[in-house]
Structure 1
Amino acid sequence: MINYNEEDGLNSSYTYRLKQDRNGFIWIGSDNGLFRFDGKEFKQYGKNEGLKNVDIISCEPLPNGDIFILPFLNDFAYLKNSRVINLNINDYVKNQFSGSIPKIISNGNKLYLYGNGNPENIFIYENGKVRKIPILLNYRGREFETIKFDFRTNHLYLNQPQKGKILAYNMMTGKEKEIKINPGAIICEKDDLFVFENQGRIDIYQLANAYTIRKIHTYHTKEDVFYGTIDKNNKLWLNIQNGGVLYFDQPLQKSGKKLAEPFKILDEYVINNVLTDQDDNVWFNSRNSGVFFITKTLFANYIRSSVKDNSEYIKAIARDDNHIILGYNKSAGAIIDKTGKIRDINLNKNSKDENKSVYINDNVSIFGLANKIVIYDLLQNRSTELSYNLKTIFPYTRDSVLFCTARSLVLYHLKTGKTTTLLNERVYTALPYTKENLFLGNFSDLYKLNIRTGKKTLFLKGYYFTDLKRLRNNLYVGATNLNGIIIFNDKGIIRKIEKKEGLIDDQIKKIEIENKNTFWASTNSGISRIEFTGTKVLINNFTQTDGLPSNAVAGCVIRNDTVFIGTSKGLGIFSIKKLLTQEKFIHKKVIINSVTIKDHEYYHLNENLTGYTHHPITFNLSFPDYASQGKISYKYKVEGLDNVWQVSSSPKIIFNSIPPGKYLFRVYGLGYNGKQSYISSDLAFEIKPKFWQTWWFKLLLAAIAIVMLSAIINSYLQKKRNKKLEQFYHEKKIAELELQAIKAQINPHFIYNCLNSIKFLLLNEDYEEADNYLDLFSDLIRKTLYYSEKTFMPIEEEATYLSLYLDMEKLRWDEAFDYEIHVSENVSKSWVIPSLLIQPFVENAIKHGISALRNRKGHIMISFDHQDSTLCITIEDNGTGIKNESLTRKNSFGLKLSRKRIKTFQQLFETDISLEIINLSEQKRQGTQVKLYITPYENQNTNLHHR
């Protein structure tokens, strides 16, 4: 029996009525709202969910999925898609139900509500609306107790217990018909069955036709019955005022058969209501102790067992041909005979010593307690005590047994009561395999012991055996504490059977032999039946879900086709054949309560379910397999996404970021012990793509990409064309600069002076000097024209050109100055520099510096040096020096031209050229110094190299 209370989520101790809906959910009315139980979780509907009144007496589940709620003060409401909807009809039904809840009967999605006494109207609820049919019966001077309204015949049945009759009233014709019986007070009714209580007598009536009611059963009781229920199997339950419930285990329609004595259940609790669910499990609503639950198999075992009223904590079990002996978790036990009669044996009322092992042989029973052994004579009701710290008892011969104790192995003779010590060591298990030889087990090893010689030999090392049994000739079964089951013969281990092969647990407590190929293994997790079929092993596991009173099994014994299983909650008695023919699957489906997509929860799952990739999807599940007692999980997969089955114990299955597509969600329920629902629950849904995931958007994106790529290519080509145009423009500009350079370097005044000098030499008939002058002049003009067409020229050629120019000027100025051109060793003469860049600065040195000298000879120094990766060209004269206003004057033709040429070169060739003009008089020297700095640069187009 399972008790659900506040610790399990049933946040109420006082519960009223129980109902079950079409999906199998259990609904519980309580003083703290309405609860829904799905086998794993309690869901509460109270004030926070919208109920105006949380004192809920009952509810009525409807075929359309709605739940009609009946509070104590008639604040009627109903649940639709898990949402509370209040009806607000209190004024409409005011004073109609005599301050109590109405009687209610259902017809599909239609409910009929009416008062318990002298009803004035019948209210019809359907799809959230209420209407009424007036009852035109004249109640004057008459007090009636309402029995029921039969919507099939439109008859209202009213009870007059004071006059001993029932009135049948036809709502359509107004006809009244008195049925003369003396029924007493109505207890409960269902369909055509009525149960009345009449002065200690329970009378059961059946409606034969609209106006004929006949008594079919009577039961006399001294119990004070205050309520009753006719369950789905038409069996009667009676609730007793002082505690407990009476159960009549036969259908009430069988009128020819006398009612058998009822079973009294839960007599320590006041039970308000009983529900037999769709699977024949039984639920009990208690007044102050929550809800009790018992599975179908366990209840059937309790009701139909030949052994009654045994729920003790069993620690040991054994049998002989006529008896079964039980040892309890205290100094007591019981003997069960073949008829099922229990004989309790109280060994010591004041002792809490538990039984370790028991044994029975005819009239001799042995209870092996923790600190002593009690030999109990069943005929003489006399006991004898032996002072041993017992571990186990093993049969040896017909007249003797072996005591395995904490200090020795002792042989006990049943007839004489004498003991013989065979070995002075701690022994846990023992089993004879020949007349003189035993297997002996201690805490860690198994030995062979020869009783005659006393020789002990190690046989199997590293196994703590808790039980040993002979399966057949030279084949033995050993139960171990941690290693499952060991199958061995006198030579060694043949095979092991462990949990990974299907055994319910690896910690085995006891072995019981069924036949030469089959045995049972008891554990704290249930019991396993192991059967050898050739070389294969067939294992069947049984737990509470199969009807065991508890999973903590101390041991079992077998008699014919019946297995008696001792557990911590009493003795379970089962037909082996029926156990083995139990369903391997659970005949239930997983309920998909709703699906939440993003923030919207869908309840109507026959609609098309759609979402988007970024929407999380949650499947809210239930698997109402109550026999599994909450040990429920789900096996699921999404076909189209992943074909691998997943298992989760959570009722919420969540998926995130599912790619667009159509999918099928499939889920099985898994009950306790791994049983699976017989069929999957399937739900199709679709994940739609966002607009950027659609084919048309991808096509548009591709078109945009093509357009953008085309634009980029066109832009690149346009830039390339513009660059060519710009290059053309710069080349044109260079040509212009070259012309300006020619004009600047070979100015008319210079040519005129040169020609006058030549004329003067010719007039003086100095033909030789005139000839030299003409040679220099022509050579200079030729080189100037040549280099003006070049963008760059080597330093070596620049030095040669400057030397030719300076020689020409020396002739012109009549040797008025000297000059030097020096190229440093750090400078390669093959390096190129902008052509004709230096000559204008040399011309300025002569024109503005040297020409003004009167009292000293002029000197011009030109040097090429390399400093810190920079080429430095210096033009220095010892002339009069340049004035500051000449430096800042914008219309200075020479400086303007030179700066313009430098800027043009920088723009065209990204060459860093800087100009520095220094007045040496500021340094207490004479003349002017011009410095040109050209940074290191390598350009594929110019071939300009500086290191």
Structure 2
Amino acid sequence: MKQLFFTVLITLLIGQINAQYPYTQKFTFPAQLPTQVIYDMLSDNKGYIWVATDKGLFRFNGRAFVKIPFDNTSMQSVSYLQKDPEGNIWCMNFYKELFTIKNDTLRNYYFNDKRIVNESVIVNYVATKKHIWLASLENLYQIDKATGKTIKRIYSPEYLGITSIVKNGEEVVAYGAKGWIFKYPAEKVEWIKTPFKYNDIRMMSSGKYIYGAQIGKMRLPAFTVQKGRVKLTKPFNIPEDILVFHFASTSENEQWICTQTGAYLWNVETGNARLIFPNQSITDIVKDYQGNYWISTLDNGLFVCPSLNNKLYSINPGSGFDNLAKVTTINKDTVVVGSTKGLLTTFNIQNENKLHYKLPIATEIQFITYDSVDKVIFTNRGIINLQSPNPILVEDYGKSVIRDFRKNLIVASYNRTYVLNNPLGSHINETPDTTGIPLYSHYMKNNIFRPGLRIPVFRNARSTNILLSKTKKYFWIAYYDDLYRYCFSDSTFVVRKNNNQKLIARTLYETNDHYLLAGTSNEGLYVIQNDKVIKRFHVGNGLKSNNVKSIKERNGKIWVNTDESLQIIDLKSGIITNLLDEYGLGGLTVNDFSLHPEKLLLATTSGLVINDYRGKPVNEIINFPSIKALSNGLELSINSSLSADKNNISFFFDAIQYKSPTNLNYRYKLVGLDTAWKVLSYNIGTLNFYRLSPGNYDLKIQAYDINGIYESELKSFSFKVLRPFWQQWWFILLITGISLGIGYIFLKFWSKRLMLRQGLKERLFKSQLVAIRSQMNPHFIYNVLNTVQGLLYDNRKTEVGNLLGNFSDLMRKTLQSSDKQLQSLREEIENLTLYLELEKARFDKDFEYKIEINLQDDVADLIIPSMLLQPFAENAVKHGLMHKAGKKELTIKFIQSLDGLDVYIEDNGIGRKQSMQINQRNKNKPQSFATKAIAERIELFNRLYKLKIRHDVFDRFDELNNSTGTAIHLFIPKYDKERINL
């Protein structure tokens, strides 16, 4: 707490020679709490300290005060702090406005009822599970929390003047003027007259009882209320000139009286009240979960007492600042302390009696060494005993002394180390007894202090400490430039580091296992065995500082005091524990310490602090209330799922540590991302993770003390980042299903279409065979042969040859076209010309045909269905021209357009109407299937191709409406744009 608390509270009055109080530390304005005026405090279920001040409500976690904002208020000052059974925090300001905390904001609990609004004074309130009880001077209002501030009942005493109301669980007790008391629940809920009358009382709850007593300067008997039963107790024994403000309870057995001049620990049954925290206008006292006492004042801010077991004794109250340099335990009852001003005092820790020694003013006490054989104390100021304030001998013994087995005094001083004879003997100025000590003979010198005095001098060099071994066969002297070991059998050895560098010690100590411990001013602590350094403790492996002041041993553990802290070292494991932090003494500057059989004694800059050492801190657990997680401004619950596009998350956390807040650290690991633990400092309370990949995550986080004393439970917050919807199993399953469905439908459709197309192909080939059949039918062949016969009879051999040549060419081309569904327009015209030449030979001179071509492209580049046009020409000849008398004409025109080919087939025959009449009269004539073949063939092509063949048949008439023949328009699309493998 050194960074957190930096000054000491206790200011003792001159004349209070034997007064002792717990060690207490103060927060100063404006370093911590931004005000000195505190009205009320509260420690909640999570471990936070709540402070109600003239500047608002603050929440404290051991490291920082956080102000809680209002949603709406008439004034900032709040008081009357309390928590309801659900753990909700409530408070009230002095304008009758009630507040409760929701989402880290003070929400105004408005009272709309005019009866409450019109009350001139609101005395207090209590919040229970179901009700808000509001006490004015005149009325007690029972308000239903669940129904929104609706007044349920009003209980008014017979006499005006309700002075106090308090709760103990769901039990509510109020006190009114002239002895009226209200208890709820009860068999009959009403105000009851009691025989004891108080003008102005305050009540408090300890969790077991409700206590009540007169405030001010009256000392009437107190009373208790438990389960509706009222019992009087004795008045508290505080002087009548002290003004009582308030009462507080920190446990069932700790009740406090808060007064204008301090706080008293009050035994309610006996009335005994003992001043614990003096000299302040104290408004409240609370106790946190780690055992610290928090004391609020009306005008001097906030104080904290780590433990009532840490007693602070003022040894020299009349000398100003009580800065103690050394302390030594003599026996169970007696200790000796020395100050930086050279004052030396024997102090009895049982009865607190002191014996101040009459010493001239000098520099600070450098050492205190007790000789248990002669029962005297050696210091750098001389020799004293425990019974008389007058010293036995006033002498400057430098930095340190020891006594050899002949009771000679070996002195380590500022400029040399030497031996004096027994200062308690009859001849104190004579040469020391060196009999049987070869070492002394080796270092014997002449004329050191006075003529004729011969004493051993080991070195003419400044020394800082001297230590006699437990075997008493040798001793060590720490010089300014080296560490020497002297053996009485006359040997000297210089103890150095393993690299033969000098070891410059400041203090020396030998353990029960005969390890020499050498504390230095800048290199930490050296552990030496058999004159060799075997281990070193320093800042790098756990010491708070490399400047070692003093060393002790207890139960095999090494206690080391540095200029930063008092620590315990386990030599076997190397574990170092910070004792000052453990016992809430981290703010102390400890100059020296002593290990009493039952206590820890500390010589500090503020006096003598005595701790009742108990081996364990009050509470080793660090409260870690909760972790809050936010993503995109929304708070998350555990096991939440983040969408793939909102994969950023922030964690907010706050552990509560009062014993050693600046030693608090966090270790964390985001399982799913991190493989090793990471560390955060105490002043960091936020973790941010950005663009997390899809997967499951679990934040593991724990608060711990760097000294290994305290730790919290391991907190866990699990969540997941979802895959993008296209990677989700349901989407993959859906797409797979859809794909399979589409595939199945497509397969079915493709199969059906394939089968249909195959059927169409088969029908198309069949229609092609029909077309071939129509061109090669017996009747046509018979007609051609009959024409050939006629020409032979007429001896027209040349024409017969031409006819047979055309016929053979037509047959050949027809057979060649039988395996093609599409062919060039040139091939189709050639076939059509061959057919028409045969027909022309048949009709002899009466039949003429004409083929007109109007094309942009070459006839060889245009593609049309094979054998498509001949049936149209055949119908024109067979049904239109055959029965016409006179000249027969057939015209075929080919005109190319942007979309395809327009074909016009025109004849000057008898027309469709007359042709149908002739066909009806000649029913036995074999039916020509050319028309049917044309229609089917066009239908098949139109079903196979997107581009459609269109054909229309028109009757031609003259001016008199007589038939002049038939015209056929045939549109053939460009099949070269859409080829189908047929």
TM-score in same-fold range (> 0.5) = yes
Q: Is the 8 A contact 1:550 1:568 kept in 2?
A: no
Please give the TM-score of this superposition, normalised by the length of structure 1: 0.63
CA distance in 1, matches of 2:78, 2:491: 76
Q: Is the 8 A contact 2:518 2:525 kept in 1?
A: yes
Secondary structure of the 2:691 match is coil
Q: 1:529 aligns with which of 540, 553, 568?
A: 568
CA distance in 1, matches of 2:147, 2:411: 74
Q: 2:630 aligns with which of 591, 596, 603?
A: 596
Q: Which residue of 2 aligns with 1:476?
A: 516
Q: Which residue of 2 aligns with 1:545?
A: 582
Q: 2:194 aligns with which of 179, 204, 207?
A: 179
Secondary structure of the 2:677 match is strand
Offset of 1:208 from its aligned partner? 5.5
Could you say which structure has the greater relative contact order, defined with CA pairs below 8 angstroms and 6 or more residues apart? 2
Offset of 1:687 from its aligned partner? 2.1
Q: Deviations over 1:344-380 (max 9, x none)?
A: 63778987x4433223447744554xxxx35555544
| Structure 2 residue identity aligned to 1:639 | V
| Structure 1 residue identity aligned to 2:390 | R
Q: Is the 8 A contact 2:68 2:105 kept in 1?
A: no
Secondary structure of the 2:626 match is strand
Q: 1:407 to 1:51 in 2, by over 3 A?
A: farther
Secondary structure of the 2:517 match is strand
CA distance in 2, matches of 1:125, 1:33: 27
1:371-382 map, 5 Å? 373=381, 375-376=383-384, 378-382=386-390
Q: Which residue of 1 aligns with 2:461?
A: 425
Query: Is 1:225 the equivalent of 2:251?
Result: no
Q: 1:407 aligns with which of 405, 409, 415?
A: 415
Q: 1:406 to 1:608 in 2, by over 3 A?
A: same
Offset of 1:41 from its aligned partner? 1.7
Q: Which residue of 1 aligns with 2:46?
A: 23
Q: 1:288 to 1:136 in 2, by over 3 A?
A: closer
Q: Deviations over 1:304-345 (max 9, x none)?
A: x99999994432222334632122343334322363524263
Q: Which residue of 1 aligns with 2:504?
A: 464
Q: Deviations over 1:859-891 (max 9, x none)?
A: xxxxxxxxxxxxxxxxxxxxxxxxxxxxxxxxx
Q: Deviations over 1:73-103 (max 9, x none)?
A: 1232322111332233376464666435x42
Q: 1:572 to 1:199 in 2, by over 3 A?
A: closer
Q: Which residue of 2 aligns with 1:132?
A: 151
Secondary structure of the 1:544 match is helix
Q: 1:644 to 1:152 in 2, by over 3 A?
A: closer
Q: Which residue of 1 aligns with 2:161?
A: 144
CA distance in 2, matches of 1:181, 1:432: 71
Q: 1:666 aligns with which of 700, 705, 724?
A: 700
Query: Is 1:189 the equivalent of 2:225?
Result: no
1:347-746 map, 5 Å? 353-361=363-371, 364-368=376-380, 373=381, 375-376=383-384, 378-383=386-391, 390-394=398-402, 399=407, 401-411=409-419, 413-415=422-424, 422=457, 423-433=459-469, 437-449=474-486, 457=494, 461-472=501-512, 475-498=515-538, 505-514=545-554, 517-531=556-570, 540-548=577-585, 550=587, 552-574=589-611, 578-579=614-615, 581-582=616-617, 586-592=620-626, 594-601=628-635, 605=637, 608=640, 610=642, 612=644, 615-649=647-681, 650-671=684-705, 673-690=707-724
Offset of 1:194 from its aligned partner? 2.0
Secondary structure of the 2:698 match is strand
Secondary structure of the 1:237 match is strand
Q: Is the 8 A contact 1:366 1:374 kept in 2?
A: yes
| Structure 2 residue identity aligned to 1:262 | R
Q: Is the 8 A contact 2:632 2:649 kept in 1?
A: yes
Q: Deviations over 1:606-626 (max 9, x none)?
A: 583635565532211111121
| Structure 2 residue identity aligned to 1:341 | E
Q: Is the 8 A contact 2:593 2:601 kept in 1?
A: yes
CA distance in 2, matches of 1:436, 1:587: 49
Q: Is the 8 A contact 1:285 1:292 kept in 2?
A: yes
Offset of 1:668 from its aligned partner? 0.7
Q: 2:254 aligns with which of 226, 229, 235?
A: 235
Name structure 1 gaps, 5 residues minimum: 704-947
Q: Is the 8 A contact 2:399 2:412 kept in 1?
A: yes
CA distance in 2, matches of 1:606, 1:458: 62
Q: Which residue of 1 aligns with 2:134?
A: 113
Question: C-alpha root-mean-square deviation of aligned residues, in Å?
Answer: 4.3
CA distance in 1, matches of 2:344, 2:148: 63
Judge which range, 552-561 or 144-153, deviates more.
Answer: 144-153
| Structure 2 residue identity aligned to 1:111 | I
Name structure 2 gaps, 5 residues minimum: 1-23, 430-448, 450-454, 738-982
Q: 1:328 to 1:501 in 2, by over 3 A?
A: same
Q: 1:526 to 1:396 in 2, by over 3 A?
A: farther
Q: Is the 8 A contact 1:632 1:669 kept in 2?
A: yes
Offset of 1:35 from its aligned partner? 0.5
Secondary structure of the 1:122 match is strand
Q: Is the 8 A contact 1:66 1:81 kept in 2?
A: no
Q: Which structure shows the higher strand fraction?
A: 1
Secondary structure of the 1:586 match is coil
Query: Is 1:317 the equivalent of 2:327?
Result: yes
1:198-213 map, 5 Å? 200-201=218-219, 203-207=221-225, 210=228, 212-213=230-231
Secondary structure of the 1:658 match is coil
Q: 1:406 to 1:33 in 2, by over 3 A?
A: same
Q: 1:654 to 1:2 in 2, by over 3 A?
A: farther
Q: 1:147 to 1:495 in 2, by over 3 A?
A: closer
Please give the TM-score of this superposition, normalised by the length of structure 2: 0.60
Offset of 1:392 from its aligned partner? 4.0
Q: Is the 8 A contact 1:365 1:376 kept in 2?
A: yes
CA distance in 2, matches of 1:219, 1:67: 34
CA distance in 1, matches of 2:627, 2:530: 60
Q: 1:606 to 1:456 in 2, by over 3 A?
A: closer
Q: Which residue of 1 aligns with 2:27?
A: 4
Q: Is the 8 A contact 1:121 1:133 kept in 2?
A: no
Judge which range, 522-531 or 499-508, deviates more.
Answer: 499-508
CA distance in 2, matches of 1:36, 1:149: 23
| Structure 2 residue identity aligned to 1:443 | Y
Q: 1:684 to 1:238 in 2, by over 3 A?
A: same
Q: 2:281 aligns with which of 247, 267, 270?
A: 270
CA distance in 2, matches of 1:364, 1:158: 64
Offset of 1:458 from its aligned partner? 6.2
Secondary structure of the 1:543 match is helix
Offset of 1:283 from its aligned partner? 0.7
Offset of 1:452 from its aligned partner? 9.2
Q: Is the 8 A contact 1:202 1:221 kept in 2?
A: no
CA distance in 2, matches of 1:491, 1:659: 60
Q: Which residue of 2 aligns with 1:287?
A: 298
Q: 1:125 to 1:505 in 2, by over 3 A?
A: farther
Offset of 1:31 from its aligned partner? 0.9
Offset of 1:237 from its aligned partner? 0.9
- Aligned pair count reads 674
